[in-house]
Amino acid sequence: MIEVRNLSKRYGSTVAVDDLSFTVPPGVVTGFLGPNGAGKTTTMRLITGLDAPTRGTALIGGRRYRELAAPMREVGALLDAGAVHGGRTARDHLLCLARSNGIGTARVHEALLLVGLESVARRRVRTFSLGMRQRLGIAAALLGDPGVLIFDEPINGLDPEGVRWMRELMRRLAAEGRTVLVSSHLISEMALTADHLIVIGRGRLIADSPVETFLRDQEGGMVLVRTPDTDSFVGVLESAGATVRRAAGGLLQVSGMDALGIGTLAAASGVVLSELTPKRASLEDAFIRLTDGGVEYVAGEAAAR
Amino acid sequence: MTPVRFHHVLRSEWTKLRSLRSTVCTLLAAGVLAIGLSVLFANGAGRRLDAQGGFDPTAVSLQSFILVQLAISVLGVLVVTSEYGTGMIRTSLTAVPRRGRLLAAKALVFGAVALVCGQVVAFTSFLVGQAILNRTGLRDAALGEPGVLRAVIGCGLYLAMIGLLGVAVGVLTRTTAGAIMIRWRPLCSSRCSHPLCPSHGPNRWARSVRSARAPRSCPWCRNRACSRRGPDSACCACGSSASWALPPWSSSAGTHDGEARSDGLGTARGHEPAVRCRPECTCRT
């Protein structure tokens, strides 16, 4: 369980994190979403004690990171896959970390197996690709078998197979009852992995809700309907309170009613449906609309709009 | 859950130190420098100095520390700055969030390594030097003679100290280049009178700098006319940074022998080519 209370971080005149409060519960994957420069990494650095907050607190299991008795056995963090000495072998890197928290050598081997790096364990990290470093960082995070996991952009640099592996790993870790906080600027990725979303922009909290709720709140779900009896069914739908828009090719865009309601109506009125497709609002759209005011760096064209 | 103890962090720092090739390379370089220079000094400088009197076999064999200290101080700097340079420090601080504990473990582990290496370097240099002096028929010293063991152990201690100063400067600057510049400057100032010192490159320049300098007072008694005052008070070994670290064994290094009572800087200014600024000096100022 991670609790962030009124957290603020100021660098000179720049406010990186502005009065942020949220809770990351165990057992689910919590996505931490925001455009570049929104303060995601800063927040994670504040949680792991790498930076001191200007105001507020970040607690893990009720204590601040620096007060943890054995940090690596309580929190596993992957903040920057590049934060490794390139001259060390993968195994030695993990061994240094394991020793510092009294973790056994056997666990180093297990962690390397878990991320699939056992064959390159004795190679120097300097020769690793970005994806391999990312896996090494994940191995370091999992070394102490911690109950809380914090990943900053973990899928960066991973190949498609790696991305799928990462997704499954996060879901598995959450299913084991751990607290998993994953940051990303890729909304589509979060839609596939996360159960809960925390969205920030310019250091401020924009949304904190389950993915489903987030989508429903942002846009009433729309259902695409196709039927031979277009005209009569539009009347039925409208009289039942739905809003219907006719699209090209006899397609109906129905909002204000879910797919089950439309199906029930069709069955009751004896209308044959050839298509009934619930269409979720694009997470991207919702995200952009939400963070519009919260984008730190906007491309010229967008800014001129 | 067993909490993290200091010995865990110590073991981690030891693993960090030994798992880097640069550590092994630097220490090997220090060893090669120490033995090589001792051989050179004992062979060359020893013979010439013996002819002039005021010859101290212990000092001759320990001269190698002048370049070895550069290697040790670089290693001390690297122990810290390599973590900042690679970003490893962020991972280290996530594993050991208490800064003081991490730094203490780093300094302790490196200090111990530097102490052992310093003693090995000092004793090896001494023994190799004495063996060569003995073979070439010159007077050699034994560890049992008065002041000799103290001088050799002191040399090793000095090297460990120089290494720890490297760690300190590394912590303060966090950059390798900056720290090494800061670290080497006092070790090799233009005031240095040692013939091996890199600052001697253009010999004439060094001489002109020295002749333009005002006489300094003796660092021990603050008296300008003190006869103990010699270029050693402002040389690689005892200039600024190291003067406090050296006295225990510098007294054995032949500076205060009766024959060595030449006022080093004074004669340098006076351009008397026949008199040397100190007995073992070969710079002929």
User: Per-residue pLDDT tens for B142-176?
Assistant: 888 888 999 999 999 999 999 999 999 999 998 88
Closest residue of chain A to B81, computed from CA coordinates: A85
For the residues B57-61, what does the mean pLDDT come to? 84
Per-residue model confidence (pLDDT) at position A74? 95
Q: Which of B9, B91, B102 to mutate to test the interface with A (most CBs of A within 10 A)?
A: B91
CA R_g for chain A:
24
* Mean pLDDT across chain A: 88
Per-residue model confidence (pLDDT) at position A46? 95
For the residues B212-227, what does the mean pLDDT come to? 49
B83 lies within 8 A of chain A by CB: yes
Q: Which of B75, B81, B94 to mutate to test the interface with A (most CBs of A within 10 A)?
A: B94
Q: Do A49 and B97 touch (CB under 8 A)?
A: yes
The minimum CA-CA distance between B195 and chain A, rounded to whole Å, is 36
Higher pLDDT, B82 or B283: B82
The minimum CA-CA distance between B243 and chain A, rounded to whole Å, is 36
Task: Give the lowest-confidence range in A6-20, A168-182, B252-266.
Answer: B252-266
Q: Do B98 and A66 touch (CB under 8 A)?
A: yes
Residues of A within 8 A of B103 (CB-CB) are none
Distance from C-alpha of A56 to C-alpha of B147, rounded to nearest angstrom: 62
pLDDT band for B202, please (50, 70, 90 cuts). very low
- Sheet arrangement for strand A55-60: A14-24, A2-11, A55-60
Residues of A within 8 A of B82 (CB-CB) are 85, 87
What DSSP designation does B182 have? H
Per-residue model confidence (pLDDT) at position A293? 57
CA B200 to chain centroid: 17
Q: Which of A100, A103, A125, A138 to mutate to test the interface with B (most CBs of B within 10 A)?
A: A100
Per-residue model confidence (pLDDT) at position B42? 83
Sign of CA dihedral B273, B136, B237, B174: positive
pLDDT band for A54, please (50, 70, 90 cuts). very high
Higher pLDDT, B64 or A179: A179
Q: Is the pLDDT of residue B81 over 60?
A: yes
A250 lies within 8 A of chain B by CB: no
Per-residue model confidence (pLDDT) at position A222? 77
Greatest alpha-carbon pair distance for chain B in Å reads 75
| Residues β-bridged to residue A112 | none
- Sheet arrangement for strand A222-226: A243-246, A251-255, A222-226, A275-279
A235 lies within 8 A of chain B by CB: no
CB atoms within 10 A of CB A239: 9
Q: Is the pLDDT of residue A258 over 90?
A: no
Give the one of B3, B15, B94 whose C-beta lies nearest to A77's C-beta.
Answer: B94
Asked whether A196 and A210 are in contact (CB, 8 A), the reply is: yes
Asked whether A48 and A75 are in contact (CB, 8 A), the reply is: yes
Closest residue of chain A to B22, computed from CA coordinates: A87
Distance from C-alpha of A57 to C-alpha of B68, rounded to nearest angstrom: 49
Q: Is the pLDDT of residue A18 over 70?
A: yes
Residues of B within 8 A of A80 (CB-CB) are 87, 90
CA distances from A1 to A46, A60, A149, A180, B246 (A): 15, 6, 10, 9, 56
Per-residue model confidence (pLDDT) at position B133? 86
Higher pLDDT, A283 or A19: A19
Higher pLDDT, A107 or B225: A107
Per-residue model confidence (pLDDT) at position B242? 34
pTM recorded for the entire structure: 0.73
Give the β-pairing of A179-184 and A148-152. parallel
Per-residue model confidence (pLDDT) at position B194? 54
Per-residue model confidence (pLDDT) at position A117? 95
Tokens read off for A34: 């925001």
For the residues A45-71, what does the mean pLDDT come to? 94
Asked whether B167 and B77 are in contact (CB, 8 A), the reply is: yes
A79 lies within 8 A of chain B by CB: yes
Q: Is the pLDDT of residue A208 over 60?
A: yes
Per-residue model confidence (pLDDT) at position A282? 61
Asked whether A194 and A29 are in contact (CB, 8 A), the reply is: yes
Distance from C-alpha of A32 to C-alpha of A104, rounded to nearest angstrom: 32
A86 lies within 8 A of chain B by CB: yes
Per-residue model confidence (pLDDT) at position B66? 83
For the residues A3-14, what does the mean pLDDT come to? 93
Q: Is the pLDDT of residue B108 over 90?
A: yes
Residues of A within 8 A of B92 (CB-CB) are 100
The minimum CA-CA distance between A62 and chain B, rounded to whole Å, is 16
A59 lies within 8 A of chain B by CB: no
Per-residue model confidence (pLDDT) at position A297? 57
The minimum CA-CA distance between A182 and chain B, rounded to whole Å, is 17
B11 lies within 8 A of chain A by CB: yes
Closest residue of chain A to B10, computed from CA coordinates: A100
For the residues A208-220, what does the mean pLDDT come to? 75
Residues of A within 8 A of B90 (CB-CB) are 50, 79-80, 83
Residues of A within 8 A of B2 (CB-CB) are 69-70, 102
Residues of A within 8 A of B83 (CB-CB) are 85
* Mean pLDDT across chain B: 73
A vs B, Cβ pairs < 8 A, gives 93
B:15-34 residues touching chain A, CB 8 A cutoff: 15-16, 19-22
Residues A270-303 have pLDDT tens digits of 889 998 888 766 666 667 766 665 555 555 544 4
ipTM: 0.77
Residues B225-281 have pLDDT tens digits of 555 444 444 433 333 333 333 333 443 333 333 333 333 333 333 333 444 445 554
Give the β-pairing of A222-226 and A275-279. antiparallel
CA distances from A299 to A16, A35, A53, B152 (A): 20, 12, 30, 67
Q: Do A101 and B87 touch (CB under 8 A)?
A: no
Q: Is the pLDDT of residue A269 over 60?
A: yes
Q: Do A70 and B5 touch (CB under 8 A)?
A: no
A:39-58 residues touching chain B, CB 8 A cutoff: 48-50
Closest residue of chain A to B85, computed from CA coordinates: A85
Distance from C-alpha of B135 to C-alpha of B128, rounded to nearest angstrom: 11
The minimum CA-CA distance between B87 and chain A, rounded to whole Å, is 4
Residues B20-34 have pLDDT tens digits of 998 999 899 888 988
Per-residue model confidence (pLDDT) at position B224? 52
Q: Do A99 and B15 touch (CB under 8 A)?
A: yes
Residues A146-161 have pLDDT tens digits of 999 999 999 888 889 9
Q: Is the pLDDT of residue B52 over 80?
A: no
Q: Do B91 and A84 touch (CB under 8 A)?
A: yes
